[in-house]
Amino acid sequence: MSAEFEAFIGLEVHCQLATESKIFCSCPTMSGRGISVSALPVNALVCEVCSGQPGALPTLNSQAVRFAIRSGLALGSEIQQSSIFSRKNYFYPDLPKGYQISQNETAICLGGFVEIEREDGSMKKVALRRIHLEEDAGKSVHEFGVTLVNLNRSGVPLVEIVGEPELRTPEEAGNYLRELHAIVTAIGVTDGNMQEGNFRCDANVSVRPKGSSVLGTRVEIKNVNSFRFVEKAIAFEIQRQIAVLASGKAVIQETRLYDSQRDHTVSMRIKEEAEDYRYFPDPDLLPLKFPVAWVQEERDRLPELPAQKRSRYQTDFGLSRADSRQMSASQAISEIFEATVSLLKGLPGGAKWVANLLSGEVSRLLQESELSLTQSPLKAQHLADLGALALSGELSSTATKKILHEVWRTGESVGALVERLGLRQQNDASELEPLVETILKEQPQATEELRSGKLKVLGFLVGMVMKRSAGRGNPELIRSLIERTLDLKKDA
């Protein structure tokens, strides 16, 4: 980074809770239905409460409270028996009430931590300040030269998970976010779809001269919604601030936006003084108190957490640390991974094979298609069928990839695709022998060179036979057939 400066990073993560209805009214949220809110008709999911009509009264959604409690328990927070909803007052076109209902400091969960792996492999606990409940705002849409407002998202329940500024590098921040995402999706409180903004992050970054005892002035980078972009935005911002300080100037406290196309941050607004939102307790909502039993009930609903899952994958399936991390990165991936492994019924090499495919080709397909794993037509049965054929040598790696792509497109069964595309690997010696003989006749020169001990041409001849078999011949079998035909083993 720099010999003279050091960076501090604190993240505020907004996580959309997967309740059926909004936090203060009964409008649906479309969570967990694989429907993109942005694809729904504009302002289709609104009522007098979430569109901020005068006199409309909010009623708190108990499921949102339970999800917040569950989040706090998974993250080691202290659950508060009493907390307060306040009005955070500001004007914005997508906020028709003129205030957002948020818990701010008197939150339902205080403290807690996220444990991350440092670059040297050691573990680090990053403290949380609080987890609070709040409502989402609507969305301004800039189109046709005007700004329009879509309130479908207005009133959708969020928890904001506020971390202490204890992260020191962009990579640590990325790992913190990945771990947090893995936890909140594992416990089922959010769909966690980052493209849809279900899990988005404001990154606070400051830099100070090494040895200084106070933190530097922080800059807040707003709403970054991909792990990689958060890392890149922070990396850019650290360098920018170091350059400012190194030139003898001061960093200004401001909000900046990250432009991923140009890989830099640009100023959005300068905070001349701390914003004054004039928080005050919302008179429409009583202080939040819930039945004590809810805490134990939510504790009982906690599933295996990602950290436990990782160690189980290592001991039970022999996965590497890196693979076990990838396979527990989200609920969706660990579900399809485990379902496939169980369908493969202990086939040797099965778990490792599935992990490779999921973290390699499948993750590429996911990125390209912008689909989530649950939305894609790929199911555990497809993977298990592919794995069984690939591991027994009936499918070459090229053919496996081809079929995977077809499954992704059509959802067809692997068996049907192998037949339709004629990709089953040719393992039958009696069918390959005639091809070997033909090629050896067609290539007298190479054949002669091979006979006289030039083993280099063997690969060439195997390739020719492969080609003649339309890519389906098993290369190892072809190799041994050629050797046998020419009696090479005996001469050697």
Q: Count residues binding ligand ADP (CB under 6 A).
A: 15
> Which residue, 24 or 317, has its beta carbon nearer to Zn ion?
24
103, 206, 359, 447: residue in contact with ligand ADP (rule CB under 6 A): 206
- Token couple for 87: 């009005």
Q: Are 469 and 481 in contact (CB under 8 A)?
A: no
> Which residue, 12 or 361, has its beta carbon nearer to ligand ADP?
12
> Which residue, 22 or 129, has its beta carbon nearer to ligand ADP?
129
> Which residue, 11 or 186, has its beta carbon nearer to ligand ADP?
11
DSSP letters of 37-102? Answer: GGGSPTT-S--TTTTT-TT------HHHHHHHHHHHHHTTPEEPSEE--EEEE---TT-TTSEEEE
Of 205, 264, 274, nearest to 229 (Cα)? 264
Residues from 30 through 59 that contact Zn ion (CB under 5 A)? 47, 49-50
- Token couple for 463: 């390739």
- Token couple for 414: 């692997």
The one segment of 2-10, 19-27, 104-112, 408-416 that binds Zn ion by CB under 5 A: 19-27
27, 75, 162, 180: residue in contact with Zn ion (rule CB under 5 A): 27
- Token couple for 27: 């409008």
The one segment of 91-99, 156-164, 399-407, 431-439 that binds ligand ADP by CB under 6 A: 156-164
> Which residue, 252 or 302, has its beta carbon nearer to ligand ADP?
252
115, 164, 254, 394: residue in contact with ligand ADP (rule CB under 6 A): 164
As a whole number of angstroms, the distance between CA 153 and CA 22 comes to 9
> Which residue, 10 or 112, has its beta carbon nearer to ligand ADP?
10
Q: Residue for token digits 């399936």?
A: 317
Q: Which does 173 bind (CB under 5 to 8 A by kind): ligand ADP, Zn ion, none?
A: none
162, 221, 344, 481: residue in contact with ligand ADP (rule CB under 6 A): 162
Residue 194's φ and ψ, nearest 5 degrees, are -75, -35
204, 330, 340, 447: residue in contact with ligand ADP (rule CB under 6 A): 204
Q: Are 249 and 218 in contact (CB under 8 A)?
A: no
> Which residue, 97 or 129, has its beta carbon nearer to ligand ADP?
129
Minimum Å gap between C-beta 25 and Zn ion is: 3
As a whole number of angstroms, the distance between CA 397 and CA 165 comes to 46
Residue 330 makes CB contacts below 8 A (sequence gap 6+) with 181, 182, 185, 186, 192, 373
The one segment of 182-190, 201-209, 325-333, 352-360 that binds ligand ADP by CB under 6 A: 201-209
Q: Are 102 and 83 in contact (CB under 8 A)?
A: no
Q: Are 185 and 67 in contact (CB under 8 A)?
A: no
Q: Residue for token digits 């009509």?
A: 53
> Which residue, 23 or 107, has its beta carbon nearer to Zn ion?
23
Q: Which does 218 bind (CB under 5 to 8 A by kind): ligand ADP, Zn ion, none?
A: ligand ADP
Minimum Å gap between C-beta 238 and ligand ADP is: 11
Minimum Å gap between C-beta 11 and ligand ADP is: 6
169 binds ligand ADP (CB under 6 A): no
Q: Which does 254 bind (CB under 5 to 8 A by kind): Zn ion, ligand ADP, none?
A: none
254 binds ligand ADP (CB under 6 A): no
Q: Are 403 and 423 in contact (CB under 8 A)?
A: yes
The one segment of 143-151, 157-165, 316-324, 381-389 that binds ligand ADP by CB under 6 A: 157-165
CA distances from 452 to 108, 237, 477, 491 (A): 81, 65, 22, 10
Q: Which residues bind Zn ion (CB under 5 A)?
A: 25, 27, 47, 49-50
